[in-house]
Structure 1
Amino acid sequence: MLYLRNARYLDSVTFAFFEGNIAVEEGKNGDIRLDVVIPPLPERNVGDREFDCKGQLVMRALSCGHHHIYSILSRGMPPLPRTPQNFNEMLELVWWRLDKCLDNDMTYASALAAGLFMAKNGVVFCIDHHASPLAADGSLSAISKAFEQIGIGHLLCHETSDRDGIDIAMKSLAEHERFFAAGGKGHVGLHASFTVSDDTLKAAVALAQQYDTGIHIHVAEARSDQKHCLATYGKTVVQRMKDAGVLDMPKTILGHCVHVSEEDKAILAASPVWIAQNVESNMNNNVGLGDYSFSKNVMFGTDGMHSDMIRSAQAAYFTGVMTEGQTLDGAYKRLRNVHRHTALHGPVGDGANNLIIFNYDSPTPLIPDLSHGNVLGHFFYGLSAKNVSTVVSRGKIIVENCRLVSGDEEEILAAACEQGKRLWEKLR
């Protein structure tokens, strides 16, 4: 049991304040108890720990709804053969060159580094969409191993597509089956409609149904995805997914959905699936910004741009004011919607015993209360990852006073640099 003394706990749903001591249970989806009496040392169990919050703000930790951890090794990568002129060329010249060079050592190092950054940003759960088409076998286990070392809960998938041939696509699906059969949790990953054949789509849906999960796929991220689908199949991407049964599965995640039609929006609004919004990536790729006001099942991701969900939420709010009349409350609900999604998968480690302790010295009063408080004003205009001081994952402290304690930061970054050099040599 972890005991937090002198905490200022802010409920992440009601914004009610509690000041006092908190007991935090260990384990996946453990609970917390407020207003506890911390037992004296002789009465504690082996492994119990007490941590003095010194009046600092405590909130539920954050989770990422859509990441690409392998992109960690792309920072400062060698110059491209030429400058991409559109989104498809960005894929061909950057990401599809890079992901073909990955092996499991690189994937493992990427996951450790991403886990380090997430932990220090108060993000302790990650839904990842991995791509290593020529090294699929064992890749999901490599990510899972790294995340477990850091203390990052996870739902994983491998990006399946036909861009490298049907044999490579089937190896990707086989990696899902191997991972799920061994007890791993996640989705069945697909790249996007324009790189997935009907046969591969059908096989992926069958696999997702077999393991009671959903599909995780990019949908209409750029206009080109829609144009290809209309020209090839005579229907939009959303309609194609609907006909294939993808939208019948409540655990399905559709990434982006920037260029969906009004008819598509009506279909999605009536389905139980989830949409992952990634505005910074959309701006970086110059594909536009979407309006997601039609759905209640929208959550935020980073799309591999970074590992900071406070930053993602703030970016989504500021752009959303222009694109869909977004409000502070609406943006915050989307940030927390990921917990609703992870709950569908059972006890996966995204519970109430994941906490952030903020070192937040405000120049103005922080007033609780959902109706009349100002918590959201502080969250979107005051807080940042630099205020994250201590992080609790599954009832255990993994970051303490801004330093990772579940791993060696210097060793993790050195290993990532070494694997990054190997990757870059392959890219040259």
Structure 2
Amino acid sequence: MSSRRVCGLVPGARGPRLVTLELEDGRIRAVHEGEQPPPDRRPYDRLARYLLLPGLVDAHAHSYSLPLRFRARLRPAPPPPAPGLEAALTQVWWPLDRVLTAEALELAALLTAREALAGGVTTLFDHVAAPYAGPRGPAAVAAAYRRLGLRATLAWEVSDREGEARGAELVDLHTGIPMTPLLRPMLGLHAAFTVGPATLERAARTAQALGIGVHVHLGEGPEDRRGSRLRYGADPWARLAASGLLDRPSVLAHAVDLTSGEWAAVAAEPRVWVITNPHSNLTNRVGTLPWERVPAAARVGVGTDGFAAGPAEAALLAGLLHAGARPPGALWEANHALAAAVFDQPFGGLEPGAAADLVAVEPPFPFPRSIAEAWTRWAAGAGRRPPVRVYVAGEPVAADGRPLHWPSGTRREAARVLARMARAAWGAAPAHNEEAEP
């Protein structure tokens, strides 16, 4: 990794500070007051009019979900799913999972990464469901993130809904996901009511052998508890806690249907983060995170669950939905702590040693006094502009909302392929020209 200097404004209790960040080997090496060009007269990034912030983390995303944007274009239009998790899964998500190809997954990941960077996200926790994509599926998604320079974790969803043999194959796919400075595998599990004891045990052995945590849907709705009890005789949290999968930093997505006792047990696990996804929970009509049950010690962050709104907006929505929700800054800090645990380096700060994942934005008025205030006002700002510059591990990866390494023609090709996936999943013909960009 190269070294560079970036000069810009940072939040301060007494107003804006002009600093020069010295970036080296993917981290902030030093912070100099004022503008400090390199001593050898090398070029440097002079962003003195802009506010420098640590990049955001989306702690639960579904890049594979992009074909859903074409569902409304189908004719005859598919009926909307009934309320609840089971209807959303059986009528929308599982039909899509079964038809996805490696080509479609790579294009969807490229578009997801592009939108993430435009929203100030530099790290994405991706959870992909594609049981028939084979080994090329994870390789294609990893290649997309590598091409655009986004930092990511990749979990490949494991489920027995296509049979135990398929579940075992999906577990084994994780051994082929590379571990690099910008990519980490996580053991992906669907909800407990679709994962049997043998598959859960195989997943735990694989995660332990690879030294990785789990990224799982837990308690997204009451169906998870009912199905797990009916099929396997135990509640989802009890099965997960007994599996040995929580020995490494892990993501529990949703947690809408956890009891007070289960929340206390979750809070006692030092390597577990619960990730709330308010946009998704509202859309699927499964309820929202029960903040009145959440202990102060529980680590709670925020994700998007594949929705276009980013983690900045999701944190604001969580507060609007529940008066007891934690402030946005606390949710973003939890996301940064999760990323730090997974990537083994500090995230979310502008001090020496922190990951050099940076975003430069136009400063709001009046100038924010903290990082949390800056992101809160950026997320809520009307007519805001995308970041003028985004860095991941010290390398520039986007400017003015556009990736620097965007493959020409990708949007048009993605529109064609993802529209075909929508047609295959939900059984109708497109109403509009599938060559049109989404």
| TM-score, with length taken from structure 2 | 0.85
Alignment partner of 1:76: what SS? helix
Q: Which amino acid aligns with 1:420?
A: L
Paired with 2:99 and 2:418, the residues of 1 have a C-alpha distance of 11
Residue 17 of structure 2: which of 9, 19, 22 is its match?
A: 19
Q: Confirm or deny: 8 A CA contact 1:250 1:274 kept in the other structure.
A: no
**Cα-to-partner distance string for 1:318-376 (whole Å, 9 max, x where unaligned):** 2232xxx1353xx31211212211222335896531111111342xx235269xx9657
Change (3 A) 1:181 1:155: closer
Q: 1:81 to 1:306 in 2, by over 3 A?
A: closer
Aligned residue number for residue 359 of structure 2? 356
Partner of 1:334: 331
SS at structure 2 position matched to 1:84: coil
Tell me the CA shift for residue 268 of structure 1: 0.8
Deviation at 1:84, TM superposition (A): 2.0
Residue type of the partner of 2:389?
T
Counterpart position of 1:37 = 36
Distance in 1 (CA, whole Å) between partners of 2:110 and 2:194 is 29
* Alpha-carbon contact 2:27-2:356 (below 8 Å) kept: yes
| Gap change, CA 1:339 and 1:181, over 3 Å in 2 | closer
Note closer, same or farther for the CA distance 1:31–1:115 as it changes in structure 2 (3 Å cut). farther
Q: Is the 8 A contact 1:130 1:158 kept in 2?
A: yes
Change (3 A) 1:343 1:359: same
- Secondary structure (helix, strand or coil) at the match of 2:38 reads coil
Q: Which of 143, 146, 156 is equivalent to 1:145? A: 143
Deviates more, 1:382-391 or 1:137-146: 382-391
Instruction: Return the alpha-carbon distance in structure 2 between the equivalents of residues 16 and 205 of structure 1.
Output: 50
**Contact 2:11/2:368 (8 A) holds in 1:** no
**1:303 and 2:305 equivalent?**
yes
State the distance in 1 between where 2:373 and 2:174 align. 44
Deviates more, 1:213-222 or 1:238-247: 238-247
Equivalent residue for 1:4?
A: 6
- Give the Å deviation of 1:281: 0.3
Q: Distance in 1 between matches of 2:152 and 2:14?
A: 29
Counterpart of 1:338 in structure 2: which amino acid? N
Conserved 8 A contact 1:29-1:349 = no
Superposition pairs of residues 266-277 of structure 1, within 5 angstroms? 266-272=264-270, 273-277=272-276
Q: Is the 8 A contact 1:119 1:399 kept in 2?
A: yes
Q: Which residue of 2 aligns with 1:259?
A: 257
The aligned amino acid for 2:303 is G
Q: Which moved more, 1:226-235 or 1:83-92?
A: 226-235
1:99 corresponds to? 97
Counterparts of residues 77-88 of structure 1 (less than 5 Å) = 77=71, 78=74, 82-85=79-82, 86-88=84-86
How much has 1:122 moved relative to structure 2? 1.0
Q: Please name the residue that 2:228 is paired with.
A: 229
Residue 233 to residue 121, structure 1, CA distance change in 2 (3 Å): same
Q: Offset at 1:399?
A: 2.0
Identity of aligned residues (%): 24
**What are the residue-to-residue correspondences of 1:204-223 with 2, within 5 Å?**
204-223=203-222
Q: Which residue of structure 1 aligns with residue 65 of structure 2?
A: 71
Question: Does the Cα contact within 8 Å between 1:158 and 1:172 map onto a contact in 2?
Answer: yes
Matches within 5 A, 1:42-53: 43-44=40-41, 49-53=43-47
**1:312 to 2:314 alignment:** yes
Q: Is residue 410 of structure 2 the alignment partner of residue 412 of structure 1?
A: yes
CA–CA distance in structure 1, aligned partners of residues 237 and 6 of structure 2: 47
**Secondary structure in 1 matching 2:145:** helix
Contact 1:31–1:352 (CA under 8 A) maintained in structure 2: no
Measured at CA, do residues 384 and 312 of structure 1 come closer, stay the same or move farther in structure 2, by a change above 3 Å?
farther
Give the CA deviation at 1:75: 0.3
1:346 lines up with 2:343 in the alignment: yes
C-alpha change, 1:28 and 1:369, in structure 2 (3 Å) is: closer
Structure 1, 265-274 or 153-162: larger mean CA deviation: 265-274
The aligned counterpart of 2:118 is 120
Alignment of 1:358-373 (within 5 A): 358-362=361-365, 365-368=366-369
CA-to-aligned-CA distance 1:268-316 (integer Å, 9 cap, x gap) = 1111211111011000000001124324311111000125221112112
Structure 1-normalised TM-score?
A: 0.87
TM superposition shift of 1:137: 1.1
1: CA distance, partners of 2:403 / 2:210:
35
Partners of 1:191 and 1:202 lie apart in 2 by: 14
Match of 1:56 among 46, 50, 56: 50
Measured in 2, the distance between the counterparts of 1:122 and 1:296 equals: 26
Structure 1 residue matching 2:343: 3-state secondary structure:
coil
Residue by residue, what CA displacement relative to the aligned partner does 1:41-60 show, whole Å, maximum 9, x if unpaired? xx24xxx5422324221111
Cα separation, 2, equivalents of 1:261 and 1:30: 42
CA-based RMSD: 2.7
Q: Does the 8 A contact of 2:59 with 2:335 survive in 1?
A: yes
**Cα distance, 1:259 vs. partner?**
0.6
1:29 to 1:227, Cα distance in 2 relative to 1, 3 A: farther
Consecutive unaligned residues of structure 1, counting only runs of 5 or more, are none
Which one of the candidate residues 114, 127, 130 is aligned to 2:128? 130
Unaligned segments of structure 2, at least 5 residues: 348-353, 428-438
Per the TM alignment, residue 245 of structure 1 is displaced from its structure 2 partner at its CA by 2.2
**Cα separation, partners in 2 of 1:414 and 1:24, compared to 1, 3 Å:** farther
Deviates more, 1:49-58 or 1:383-392: 383-392
Q: Is the 8 A contact 1:219 1:257 kept in 2?
A: yes
